[in-house]
Structure 1
Amino acid sequence: MASIDPLMNAFVTLMVMLDPPGNAPLFLALTVGMSQAERFQVALRGCITAFIILTIFAIAGSGILKMFGITIPAFRVAGGLLLFWIAFEMIFEKRQERREESAKRAVTKDQIRNIAAFPLAIPLIAGPGSISAIVLLSSTHPKPLERVGLIGVLLVVMIALFAALIVANRLDRLLGETGRAILTRLLGVLLAALSVQFVADGVKALATG
């Protein structure tokens, strides 16, 4: 059976990579204008989708990327570019402008599914960093029971992340409209920096590889 120490290391690694406290305010900014029930659906769908994706990578390891001829650095560059696009919209209120144009239209199930899948599940939760981490962790847990333990740890971390996203609703009520606008732009800048770092790391790895 898997020993406690490797599983504890996996828990710490996944907590750092999935970063529940850090993803909560990003989730808040991405779901501006949604009700608590709609945010609950987005959070639930996003976490379940990300859990399934990361579980597949935990089981199959790096074989999936190799099958498509994709390297982790290339995946990192692609994820970084997608995140930069999101950050641009957050900073310059492009997302908010689209919401205002359709203010009379209720949030549909398709919108909830779309946001849950992208950008929440991919690449914010199941992004290059977390996929890289789960692939590396799976290589240190080669036995079937060890893989089961790793997936169990992933489930615990994902539940913690889901709880953090739900708590973000309370933060929304405290901030108000002005606070949300400030937070959205601030997080947009931070997300832009993070996306540039993803791209830079990926390009560096591709150049040296």
Structure 2
Amino acid sequence: MSAAINTFLVVLAAIFPVVNPPGSALVFLGLTRGAVPDTRRILARRIAVNSLFVLMGAFLLGALILQFYGISIPILRVAGGLIVAVSGWKLLNEGSQKDFDAHADDVSRANLLTQAFYPLTLPLTTGPGTIAVTISIGLSRATFTASSGAVVFVLASLLAIAVIALSIWLCFTYAVRVQKLLGQGGTEIAVRLSAFILFCLGVQILWSGASELLSSLLHGPVGAASAMAT
């Protein structure tokens, strides 16, 4: 039980800051400005379901996709960390109001229900950075299964993904109340703080992958030479 709880918390702590349901909900609110509350509730439910399937697919099938294309885990982490860092830096500099003003009128005139997957789910909610982190967790299965077992690891991870999808639904459904509670200034602060955390997380993921690449580059020839000597 302790191993399952530990796996659940690790997976939740790794994916939740990248998805950032509270911060994404504020952006979602701006992109659906002018929509009636019923439409927002339907969109929130669809986005949560779409995000659930995207995360589950990345977790369960990500290893097969990487193996098919011959992509290594360090490369995945470098690419994913770079995407997350750039997204956080862009949001940190622009804030929320610029994106709101740029897209609100266009989105409000269109049929919002047809945009539930793109762009509201992908890339707004579960973008490339989120997918990269989720695939990386699926590939690190051996680290956790040594103590908890493969079945426990998969079930605990899927439960964490389900909790994230539930948090997306809750945050998106009640985004209006959150904005009213925070006010315009509080909303801007919350978005920029979330962007800073997102940027730091991207740098951490990028450094983790780059460290593995540098380590393999430095120790690879030494290991090969020792193997030939033996």
TM range (shorter): 0.7 to 0.9
Q: Residue 100 of structure 1: CA displacement?
A: 2.3
Note if contact 1:87-1:191 (Cα within 8 Å) is conserved in structure 2. Answer: yes
Q: Which residue of 2 aligns with 1:170?
A: 177
Please state whether the residue corresponding to 1:31 is helix, strand or coil.
Answer: helix
Q: 1:111 to 1:77 in 2, by over 3 A?
A: farther
4+ residue stretches of structure 1 with deviation over 6 A? none
| Distance (whole Å) between structure 2 residues aligned to residue 71 and residue 86 of structure 1 | 23
Q: Residue 40 of structure 1: CA displacement?
A: 4.3
Encode CA deviations 1:141-177: one digit per residue, 9 max, x unaligned. 557xx68845752564244433552455432211111
Matches within 5 A, 1:4-19: 4=1, 7-19=4-16
Q: Residue 20 of structure 1: CA displacement?
A: 7.3
Note if contact 1:50-1:125 (Cα within 8 Å) is conserved in structure 2. Answer: no
Note if contact 2:48-2:169 (Cα within 8 Å) is conserved in structure 1. Answer: no
| Distance (whole Å) between structure 1 residues aligned to residue 107 and residue 64 of structure 2 | 42
Encode CA deviations 1:17-56: one digit per residue, 9 max, x unaligned. 2337982332134324235556545544443334323333
Q: Which residue of 2 aligns with 1:208?
A: 215
Note if contact 1:20-1:161 (Cα within 8 Å) is conserved in structure 2. Answer: no
Please state whether the residue corresponding to 1:64 is helix, strand or coil.
Answer: helix
Structure 1 unmatched runs, 5+: none
Task: Pick from 172, 175, 186 the counterpart of residue 193 of structure 2.
Answer: 186
| Distance (whole Å) between structure 1 residues aligned to residue 80 and residue 43 of structure 2 | 20
Note if contact 2:7-2:157 (Cα within 8 Å) is conserved in structure 1. Answer: no
TM-score (norm: length of structure 2): 0.67
Q: Residue 58 of structure 1: CA displacement?
A: 4.4
Note if contact 2:29-2:175 (Cα within 8 Å) is conserved in structure 1. Answer: no
Between stretches 61-70 and 152-161, larger displacement belongs to 152-161
CA RMSD of aligned residues (A): 3.5
Q: Which residue of 1 aligns with 2:125?
A: 120
**Residue 23 (structure 2) pairs with residue 26 (structure 1):** yes
Aligned partner letter, 1:63: L
**When you count helix as a share of all residues, which structure comes out higher?**
2
Q: Which residue of 2 aligns with 1:134?
A: 138
The number of aligned residues is: 203
Matches within 5 A, 1:73-112: 73-93=74-94, 96-101=97-102, 103-107=104-108, 108=110, 109=112, 112=116
| Distance (whole Å) between structure 2 residues aligned to residue 156 and residue 149 of structure 1 | 10
Aligned partner letter, 1:97: K
Q: Residue 12 of structure 1: CA displacement?
A: 2.6
| Distance (whole Å) between structure 1 residues aligned to residue 169 and residue 66 of structure 2 | 30
| Distance (whole Å) between structure 2 residues aligned to residue 42 and residue 125 of structure 1 | 20
Encode CA deviations 1:118-160: one digit per residue, 9 max, x unaligned. 14112464342x32223334883557xx688457525642444
Q: State the identity %.
A: 24
Q: Residue 117 of structure 1: CA displacement?
A: 0.7
Aligned partner letter, 2:75: A
Please state whether the residue corresponding to 1:16 is helix, strand or coil.
Answer: helix
Larger Rg computed on CA atoms: 2
Aligned partner letter, 2:86: W
TM-score (norm: length of structure 1): 0.72
Q: Which residue of 1 aligns with 2:163?
A: 157
